[in-house]
Amino acid sequence: MMHVGTADLASAVSNAGGLGIITALIFPTPAALRDEIRRCRTLTPNPFAVNITLLPAMVPPDYGAYAQAVIDEGVRIVETAGNSPGPVIAQLKKAGVTVLHKCTTIRHAESAVKLGVDFLSIDGFECAGHVGESDITNFILLSRARQQLKVPFIASGGFADGWGLAAALVLGACGINMGTRFMCTVEAPVHQRIKEEIVKAQETDTTLLLRRWRNTSRLYKNKVALEALKIEQESTTGEFSEIAPLVSGKRGKEVFVNGLDHRPGHWPHPRHPHMRRAGQPHRARGRECHQGAPLPHQVRLQALDDIYYTEPCMHVCV
């Protein structure tokens, strides 16, 4: 949730009954993250988590310092994702933090279990942002996770309503990770024009960028994304610098703040069912998610009984 995972969003989700997540690396320093964690505590009495994502960067952040800020502030749950998370996971586990790790393949999930993570987020190819390089959809991934994994897991990518929640439960997940749908609520720090674009988008309105550099990302298919894709496909040098101005984080943040009138930009976008409307509060979204799940109670229980573990399930909605 780049540029969006602030205390305002996380606290609203936690207050509505989910587990809100602050995005660590949208803050310029570990000290700024500390301040945001403290601010979140003034907005909700409920638990919330912090995400630390490790991705390729010309100047990598000090991930250990961000993790230490989370530990020092007493956050009990951290979501990790990305490349080589071992040192950060070890640091968090040593401090007694519960670790959720996001994976796009079962192989990576099994590696994360060996590192000691407590539960997993299985991230299908439908997801917004970084989709991995294997292009495996949730229908296959979740079924394989149910067969192979010995720790609890939730489902991520393309979930926007109770029907998706019900499907995830049947396939063996303990709950869902929902992000883009919450970007359309009144509490999300996203320009109204962008919320409206997200709501009216169809399942074909995304494109994949950065595959050439093995950093594939799913973005909303607009003029900026298509321009960047054209450069990526036609470049004779293969230099990332050719498209960097179009896909920079700064430009992505600008479009969330200013909408489409100031300077067109890009944003991550999943393949998901068509959303009905923007502007609902988080409480209404969480209620709709639970009430919209169409499965009979017995079917849901049977789906959970078939899972290989007995630990309590965590329903995460962020």
Under the banding of pLDDT at 50, 70 and 90, the label for residue 272 is: low
Judged against a pLDDT cut of 80, whether residue 250 lies above it is answered with no
> 0.85 exceeded by the pTM?
no
Residue range 225-251: mean pLDDT, rounded: 89
CB 36 within 8 A of CB 189: no
- Rounded distance between C-alpha atoms, residue 289 and residue 168, angstroms: 12
- Rounded distance between C-alpha atoms, residue 152 and residue 311, angstroms: 7
Task: Give the pLDDT of residue 138.
Answer: 95
Strand order of the β-sheet with 217-220 is: 129-130, 217-220, 206-209
**Which among 46, 42, 104, 98 is positioned nearest to 70, based on CA atoms?**
98
Task: Give the pLDDT of residue 211.
Answer: 94
Span of 93-102, 126-135, 226-235, 287-296 with lowest mean pLDDT: 287-296
Task: Give the pLDDT of residue 301.
Answer: 44
- Rounded distance between C-alpha atoms, residue 123 and residue 56, angstroms: 19
* CA-CA-CA-CA torsion sign (237, 238, 241, 246): positive
Alpha-carbon torsion angle 187, 2, 178, 144, nearest 10: -170
* Domains contained in the chain, CATH given: 7-187+292-305 (3.20.20.70)
pLDDT in tens, 46-95: 999 999 999 877 788 999 999 999 999 999 999 999 988 999 999 999 99
Residue range 170-191: mean pLDDT, rounded: 90
Instruction: Determine the residue type at 123.
Output: D
CA 118 to chain centre: 18
* CA-CA-CA-CA torsion sign (118, 83, 24, 16): negative
Task: Give the pLDDT of residue 58.
Answer: 72
Please state, rounded to an integer, the average pLDDT across all residues of the chain. Answer: 84
Three-state secondary structure call for residue 183: helix
